[in-house]
Structure 1
Amino acid sequence: MSESDAAPSSSENVAAEAAETNQTNNAPEKMEEFAEPDTKRRKISTTVKIIEDKRYKLEERLGGILCCAVCLDLPRSAVYQCLNGHLMCAGCFTHLLADARLRDETATCPNCRVEISKTSATRNLAVENAVSELPSECQYCNKQFPRNSLERHEETQCEERISGCKFSRIGCPWRGPLHESRQHETECTHPNRTGAEVMDALQVMDQKLADERVLYDSIFDLLAFEKITFNDLQLKPYRTDEFVHRLFYETSRFSAFNNQWVVKARINNSQKDPTQSSERDMTYQLILKTKATTTLSIYYIMLKGPFGDMKVQPRIYKHDFSELENEGPYMPLSLPDTAECNRLLAAKTINFRLIMFLSSK
């Protein structure tokens, strides 16, 4: 019994071991057949997801690299860099120079504090070209276009850009997307209104044209004066002797109508600290430096001139100069915006032409 019973037992054990060995040998084959492709798929999908998450578009990453160090926005025009290569858009660059001029300090880079000026800072043309090719979103249709073509798209091509009714000249206030204007104009009620109903809109237009005509008519009337003179001048920055130094501008003396004159200018009407204000403007006055024997009725106007690039809108001012009234009032210099004022402050001098007319009484 022992030997006969032991034989089948040992054979069964051998068979069981063989079966177990076969299963063990077959396991890697099954892993290779089923498990490994799943692992690869998981690995590939995970890698793709990581790449997509980290990539978040090359354009966006470049935008973070090429942005202005001051406003952290992509420059729209010129790009300046300090000696260490930190980038600044033209608006922030001139603003830094203007603030330094107002504080009587040396302008420095906001990143590395190296000195910056009109001569030490240089334009980075490579960055300007790269930024112009980066996509930007249209403010109307939310589609992306290269920055160098975005302005043209928004002004002339976008069907979602804001437009007015063609009957706005007779008072229609409608404004909306361009593609809706055609439908509106077919239903607009203003073409069917009476003349009395559209008179208000026409009067507003007439008043605007009248104001423009007054300026040009005044200039032509002044050109008929017998005594006219002009001088190409430079406003240079100076500081007051007060405890808190204030910035003002002044020209050298110049001759006109057998007298000596100067022009003075100041920022924000001599505000104590113009750097605390985001809005900036300039005012100027005409000063008679010699003793007047008679009253001089002077009309004067400031223009850009041949040696300057100041964007000033012409305005005519008048003052009667005498021995007791030798200083004219501070009058606004008609600059288009604060950015133009900052640009003038950033310059070493402000070049302009002053035309003076002497009225004979």
Structure 2
Amino acid sequence: MSESQSTSSSGEIATPHVENVDKCEEFAEPEAKKRKTSNKSEEKKYKLEDRLGGILCCAVCLDLPRAAVYQCTNGHLMCAGCFTHVLADARLRDESATCPSCRVDIGRSSATRNLAVENAVSELPAECQFCAGAFPRNSLGRHEETECEERISGCKYSRIGCPWRGPMHERSEHESECVHPKRSGADVMDALQVIDQQMAEERKLYDSIFDLLGCEKITFNDVQLKPYRTDEYVHRLFYESSRFSAFNYQWVVKARINNSQKDPTQSSERDMSYQLIMKSKSSTPLNLSYIVLRGPVGDINVKPRIHEFEFTEQSNESPYVKLPLPDTPECNRLLAATTINFRLIMFSK
């Protein structure tokens, strides 16, 4: 009796195990499919462009360079933006710039461009931000700007208030159904007023410059700013020019970073401001207008801004005003340079 019960019980226990094995075999993938799937993942993992991307990337941002590529004497690579940022940080700290990988000294004269890496990176594929297609980096910009059908475009009636934005291939369909061309003049007045306001601001700047050209006295000087350090406990960086003559007076231009922030290296945003200082004594007030432009010597990228100040014997320093640089990378580029050159035009009414 016990043997039969044990036999039956063992049989009952073994039956589900056999059924599970049969089910696993029924839903198991073929060996060929397994090999094919694993080969795809390994192929993706070991693509040549992926391996080269890891080798040719910048040692600072770990991204593939978009333009110039610099290398230290030991061959470590840096993109142009990171290279300039490293030099700017060293200038702010009053230290020698070093390679972030091997700590060897780097500079404009010691670091060299690696043209072979630049050409190699330009041929590597990159993904289009609109259609996700892969294109060589040297043609990706043209594709995204003029060729990609998925690139974001606006309606041609946006000037009269149409807010539509969408893929380029949907633009013609939208414009054929757009209701803005059929709106009355009163309906589109708001959009036209915004355009008129923008044009008026630009016109005001140029009209002001043309008015200044009619002043009695006009002079310009090509100014060169050199870096110096303050005598404070924390030696802050500032720039100062040599003395130059204008309107029978002696002048100096001074500049500072982030309004003399204690440690500008801790800030991701950087700007430069400057002031005009009269070094000669003046018995009568002198009302001046002045503007900074790119001169024939330097390649500073500034937007024209007109400033005015009345210089007297008691008030011989103008307030600091921002140097109209477009962005932080341009400020870093100026900091990385040995000197800063620009043209200062002064008008006396």
1:86 is the counterpart of 2:76: yes
Per the TM alignment, residue 53 of structure 1 is displaced from its structure 2 partner at its CA by: 4.2
Q: Deviations over 1:261-318 (max 9, x none)?
A: 0011111111111111101111111111111111111100001100010110111110
Equivalent in the alignment of 2:280: 290
Equivalent in the alignment of 1:66: 56
The ranges of structure 1 where at least 4 consecutive aligned residues each deviate by more than 3 angstroms after the TM superposition are: 50-55
* Rounded Cα–Cα distance in structure 2 between residues aligned with 1:267 and 1:275: 10
Equivalent in the alignment of 1:163: 153
Alignment of 1:4-153 (within 5 A): 49=39, 52-53=42-43, 56-153=46-143
* Rounded Cα–Cα distance in structure 2 between residues aligned with 1:123 and 1:146: 21
Equivalent in the alignment of 1:299: 289
Per the TM alignment, residue 133 of structure 1 is displaced from its structure 2 partner at its CA by: 0.4
SS at match of 1:182: helix
Per the TM alignment, residue 187 of structure 1 is displaced from its structure 2 partner at its CA by: 1.4
Q: Deviations over 1:230-278 (max 9, x none)?
A: 0011011111111111111110000000000001111111111111110
SS at match of 2:201: helix
* Rounded Cα–Cα distance in structure 2 between residues aligned with 1:140 and 1:123: 32
Give the residue type in structure 2 aligned to 1:317.
H
What's the Cα RMSD here? 1.8
Larger Rg: 1
* Rounded Cα–Cα distance in structure 1 between residues aligned with 2:337 and 2:173: 51
Alignment of 1:333-352 (within 5 A): 333-352=323-342
Give the residue type in structure 2 aligned to 1:68.
C
Per the TM alignment, residue 56 of structure 1 is displaced from its structure 2 partner at its CA by: 2.9
Between stretches 270-279 and 50-59, larger displacement belongs to: 50-59
Specify which of 209, 212, 219 is matched with residue 229 of structure 1: 219
* Rounded Cα–Cα distance in structure 2 between residues aligned with 1:275 and 1:228: 39
* Rounded Cα–Cα distance in structure 2 between residues aligned with 1:246 and 1:84: 32
Per the TM alignment, residue 103 of structure 1 is displaced from its structure 2 partner at its CA by: 0.7
Report percent identity of matched pairs. 75
Specify which of 325, 329, 332 is matched with residue 315 of structure 2: 325
Give the residue type in structure 1 aligned to 2:94.
D
Equivalent in the alignment of 1:14: none
Per the TM alignment, residue 174 of structure 1 is displaced from its structure 2 partner at its CA by: 0.9
* Rounded Cα–Cα distance in structure 2 between residues aligned with 1:180 and 1:324: 65
Q: CA 1:50–1:172 in 2, change beyond 3 Å: closer, same or farther?
A: closer
1:175 is the counterpart of 2:175: no
Give the residue type in structure 2 aligned to 1:128.
E
* Rounded Cα–Cα distance in structure 2 between residues aligned with 1:217 and 1:283: 25
* Rounded Cα–Cα distance in structure 1 between residues aligned with 2:40 and 2:189: 66
- Please, what TM-score do these two structures have when normalized by structure 1? 0.85
Equivalent in the alignment of 1:262: 252
Q: Deviations over 1:77-130 (max 9, x none)?
A: 000000100000000000000001011111100000000111110000000000
Per the TM alignment, residue 325 of structure 1 is displaced from its structure 2 partner at its CA by: 1.0
Give the residue type in structure 2 aligned to 1:331.
V
Give the residue type in structure 2 aligned to 1:234.
Q
1:215 is the counterpart of 2:205: yes
* Rounded Cα–Cα distance in structure 2 between residues aligned with 1:186 and 1:51: 46
Equivalent in the alignment of 2:16: none
Per the TM alignment, residue 52 of structure 1 is displaced from its structure 2 partner at its CA by: 3.5
Alignment gaps of 5+ in structure 1: 1-40
1:251 is the counterpart of 2:241: yes
| Aligned residues between the structures | 318
Give the residue type in structure 1 aligned to 2:88.
A
Give the residue type in structure 2 aligned to 1:65.
I
- Please, what TM-score do these two structures have when normalized by structure 2? 0.88
Give the residue type in structure 2 aligned to 1:100.
A
